[in-house]
Chain A
Amino acid sequence: MYSTTAVIEQRQDAPPGDLAIWFFILAELLVFAVLFVVYAVARRNNIELFDLHQQQLDRSSGLANTLVLITSSYFVMRAVAAIRDGRAHLCSRWLWGAFALGFLFLLIKGAEYQHHFAAGITLRSNDFYLFYLSLTFFHFMHVVMGMVILAAVAFKAQHGGYSATDYTGVETGASYWHMVDLVWLILFPLVYVMH
């Protein structure tokens, strides 16, 4: 459906941003899908252990992190909308906002890790923590990577690197960030809630 209020959206034949990033988005989604399925299958032969330790996770920080990432994805989308109107400074402000939320995610997640490590939990404690730490730390590193990209794009936008007719870079960074959020949308319920 064509929304009349927002900018007229015309049908495109390629996803927003550089096609190369989309190739790697698919590769990353594949890796995470494999890790999720292996988690779910490995859980089957030790359900009590998984459920027991899942209860001990701090679900409210998981909630907070989900809200933070969804909101940061929203900020990034507003940034893309802004650059489409040629408003580079507004775009970079939205991007820096998303970057800040990303940093908040790292803080919340970092606090969780600190709590675990303080309790002597490592990759080798048991199967649940092996998967929990592998999955969440692999995603954690992707948030860091996404923030590096967002910062680069925001910096370039601030200095007039993009315009209403040339903003593929912003869309590329946005697509990668959305992928990082998409992965967390599945990771949170899978690891924190489902038992």
Chain B
Amino acid sequence: MSGTFTKSMARNIFIGGSAFFVFLFLALSLDTVRALPDRDNRQNITEQVALGKKVWEDNNCIGCHTLMGEGAYFAPELGNVYDRYGKSTVAIKAFISSRPVEGIPGRRSMPQFNLSEKELDAVAEFLKWTSEIDDSNWPPNIQG
């Protein structure tokens, strides 16, 4: 009958629609949190992995790398670096610790973070742990 619409109806739809989808989102998020344990590899979180995450954050690795596809796009994806480096934390540690202080002329280079042996072990374990998360087999291939 009206042919036009009223502001009060539009507002009711805004409030009703938003409340509806907020509830739906919370329900789905609750289900996700309940479903995570058998996907997110939490059983393998050790003290070392926790320290590794702290080392990862304290040195702002996300400022150049992506982790599981999220972060900066300047340097390679590290969610699967453990697999790419032949499933070896030693290789990861060697790469990090051998970064030249002055960098490589004319090329992108990773800074030398002077991490202690303990920190190197921790961040390598953290990256190994991250590679074991069930992320619907992303990335498409080993190159990440």
Contact = CB atoms under 8 A, between A and B. Distances in A.
State if A and B touch, Cβ cutoff 8 Å: yes
Interface of A: 12-14, 16-21, 23-24, 122-124, 138, 141, 145, 148-149, 168, 171-172
A124 B35 contact: yes
Contacts, number: 44
B9 A14 contact: no
Contact of B6 (A18, A141, A149): A18
B49 to A, nearest CB: 25
A138 B31 CA distance: 15
A172 B1 contact: no
Interface residues of B, number: 16
Secondary structure at the A interface, as helix, strand, loop or mixed, is: helix
B35 A21 contact: no
A81 to B, nearest CB: 14
Nearest to B28: A123
Interface in B3-45: 3-6, 9-10, 13, 16-17, 20, 23-24, 31, 35
B2 A18 contact: yes
5 contacts: A14-B3, A18-B9, A19-B4, A20-B9, A20-B10
B6 A20 contact: yes
B53 to A, nearest CB: 26
The 3 closest A-B pairs by CB, nearest first: A14-B3, A20-B5, A19-B5
A121 to B, nearest CB: 13
Contacts of B6: 18, 20
A20 B24 contact: no
Contacts of B3: 13-14, 19
